[in-house]
Amino acid sequence: MKKILLLNGPNLNLLGTREPEIYGNTTLDELVESLARRFPDVHFDHFQSNCEGALVDRLHAAWREGGYAGVVLNAGAYTHTSVALRDAIAAVGGMDVVEVHLSNVHRREEFRHRSLISAVCRGVICGFGTESYALAVAALVR
């Protein structure tokens, strides 16, 4: 059974209620449950934090633990600001990280158009709502 880490950053704990016109009505728990149903041969570990250091620590821990097919990372606002998270992804080379976003960040505010983490991720998927996560999982398990 393949193992994937779902790593979610700031404000994603508010999914389902936070700006549903942008992020939809699905809660984070519902998203994780949906992925587990859709990919029954995948074991999902899930971690969400509003704290940058906690995300870096969890990524390091996953790398040390080993056995992960990869990481689906929605870094939220840290996508555009976190050199620390970018460096952590680079440091765990050999572990595939897919950057995901629910919204199409390129159709939004200018500051969201630049990602500090994209260059060190295996790929980037954005704009498909919760399907962005499913696409990332599908890519990692192939």
Told to judge if 23 belongs to the known catalytic residues of this protein, a careful annotator would answer yes
> Is the distance from CB of 92 to CB of 116 less than 8 angstroms?
no
Under DSSP, the state recorded for 17 is T
The active-site residue, picked from 23, 68, 78, 133, is 23
C-alpha distances out from residue 13 to 6, 91, 110, 115, Å: 13, 26, 24, 21
Classify residue 64 as exposed, middle or buried by CB count within 10 Å of its CB (0-12, 13-18, 19+). Answer: exposed
Told to judge if 78 belongs to the known catalytic residues of this protein, a careful annotator would answer no
For residue 108, the one-letter residue type is: R
19's tokens: 């700006």
The active-site residue, picked from 80, 101, 106, 113, is 101
Cα angle: 2, vertex 5, 21; to 5 degrees: 120
Catalytically active residues, by annotation: 23, 101
